[in-house]
Chains A and B, each alone.
Chain A
């Protein structure tokens, strides 16, 4: 039993790290510009495809493929923000409509280009194993946990230590006041979207090799990340981290108790329970009259 728990703990930490990446991206976008980007899952998927493309067709090196995938996604994010989301900032319903449109275009566009079948990509890290006691994990498990920890730390330092990060936080707290002190909110919005999309791309490039790369690979992580930011508290960066890891671990641990098929039911059940008890989330602040 103890080994089973340890196994699911590490699996949970690995999936949780992926959810953290997705959740951080969505929280940044939501926190800074009040846009709920339901299309974040397909950007994650595109990250997987980009990593595949760069790995096999251009660089042949997995780390370089990851970086190229992040850069591509950042550029895609810039285009999306400028062309679509900037004009829909105060309209939640139309943001959803636009996200749904984007999902259709990107997901079916990928099917057109690469076909509906899953792609395989096995860098060295997937084939080599690490033994922990009686258990063995792929190196990729620990690569994911490590890279995500690094990314989260970098993002934290960026947000707290750099001028740009401070500008982002200022805009999220009070856009008008940010303008007064000389911040250009449109520039901040573009950069926020670029960072968020790059994080999604990183997630896809990290998870793709471990599972498979296919058009729907981002759907489940997007829903889990959405649950994570709600459990953590909409707009809260620490909330996204705790929520994402928590969901990953709850999800893995639940397989010890219930059949795997009901894993998602447990996660969404926890989400609904949380919304009923504490709708403003773990780290969220209760705003009077908002809930």
Chain B
């Protein structure tokens, strides 16, 4: 797409997103679902950096999200630390665990790495479930406070209401999206893509493959931590079930559905996966069966997800226009 169109699209999305509390002010349910979708979009963006741009599959990512979530929740609930430092601490903790896992495990070949991430996710889940003193065990941590109001003179920005919290999540998602954009468009991002396409060739061209993978993994874990923290702040409770294996798999499915390797892929995937079935009012199990068939179809016919389909359609259309011009 031409840059000008992308810019217009970005502005439209930002304006519509920012106006959502006004547009859907009378429909708290819509805002609720949109906020939840954004809470998944954040870790999905992290996953996109890892899977879409670096080519690594992690099936334990919600475990990292859980580390961030519990860190933020405990700091805010038990120690009264304000929101921003708590969130940053959550991101750092999740990234730190990512670093601990990444240093030894990223040397493994693809399917070994997938299994390790799966095992790490399971171990983290067991810990959330059993470290009763820290995480509240299977019952989780209830009563997590939402961020405090910001007062600038007479202007009060509150985050406790649904609309306020939606705006906060929206802003954080936009920031993370901006981070993804900057990273992917940088030289470093191009090196990441070269690692995804051909590791050996990238290494031969002087790319430090391991360092690139490690950086992507740690950053991706930290972003997942932010997403997990937003989710528990939104739901006002942290529970191990929010970070189990199935959730990690759901995250992967959102990304693949939306289109891994596209900037907007994770957001489209999260909204499609979380919001669409809610609005269609489909029973949960039927929805999952439906998504199962969608995944099979994606694996078979459209491995690049919704964005891939849109791009292919756009290419076809623009080629046809050019062809018309070339042969008047």
Contacts and interface: CB of A to CB of B under 8 A. Distances in A.
Given A100-B253, A223-B122, A279-B112, A94 B299 contact: yes
A265 B110 CA distance: 22
Nearest to B113: A275
Interface stretch (B34-42, B66-74, B290-298): B290-298
A104 B296 CA distance: 10
Contacts of A96: 57, 59, 114, 252
A49 B58 CA distance: 31
B292 A290 contact: no
B99 interface: no
A88 interface: yes
A103 interface: yes
Contacts of B130: 259, 261-262
Nearest to A215: B285
Interface residues of A, number: 44
Given A261-B130, A268-B123, A100 B300 contact: no
A271 B115 contact: yes
Query: Chain B interface secondary structure, helix, strand, loop or mixed?
Result: helix
B296 A84 contact: yes
A223 B118 contact: yes
Interface residues of B, number: 41
Q: Which of B114, B123, B249, B303 is the most central at the interface, judged by chain A CB atoms within 10 Å of its CB? A: B123
A227 B119 CA distance: 9
Contact of A275 (B116, B123, B288): B116
A92 B126 contact: no
B108 A275 contact: yes
B129 interface: yes
A275 B112 contact: yes
Contacts of A227: 115, 119
Contacts of A100: 249, 252-253, 292, 295
Interface in B262-313: 285-286, 288-289, 291-296, 298-300, 303
B288 to A, nearest CB: 5
A275 B101 CA distance: 12
B99 to A, nearest CB: 15
Contact of B111 (A107, A234, A261): A234
A104 B299 contact: no
A164 interface: no
Interface string A274-286: 0110010000000
A76 interface: no
Contact of A98 (B118, B120, B126, B296): B296
Given A105-B289, A111-B285, A265-B126, A87 B300 contact: yes
A230 B115 contact: yes
B305 to A, nearest CB: 10
Interface in B78-109: 104-105, 107-109
Given A272-B116, A275-B116, A104 B292 contact: yes
B261 to A, nearest CB: 11
B52 to A, nearest CB: 11
B105 A275 contact: yes
B57 A93 contact: yes
Contact of B109 (A93, A226, A290): A290
Contacts of B109: 279, 290-291
Given A104-B288, A105-B289, A279 B300 contact: no
A261 B123 contact: no
Contacts of B291: 101, 104
18 contacts: A84-B300, A93-B57, A96-B114, A100-B295, A101-B296, A102-B292, A104-B289, A105-B292, A112-B289, A226-B118, A259-B130, A261-B129, A265-B127, A271-B115, A272-B104, A275-B112, A279-B107, A291-B112
- The 3 A-B residue pairs with the shortest CB-CB distance, nearest first, are A101-B295, A104-B292, A105-B292
Given A223-B118, A264-B123, 18 more contacts: A88-B299, A93-B57, A93-B303, A94-B299, A96-B252, A97-B295, A97-B298, A97-B299, A98-B295, A108-B289, A112-B285, A261-B129, A264-B126, A265-B123, A268-B122, A268-B123, A272-B116, A279-B108
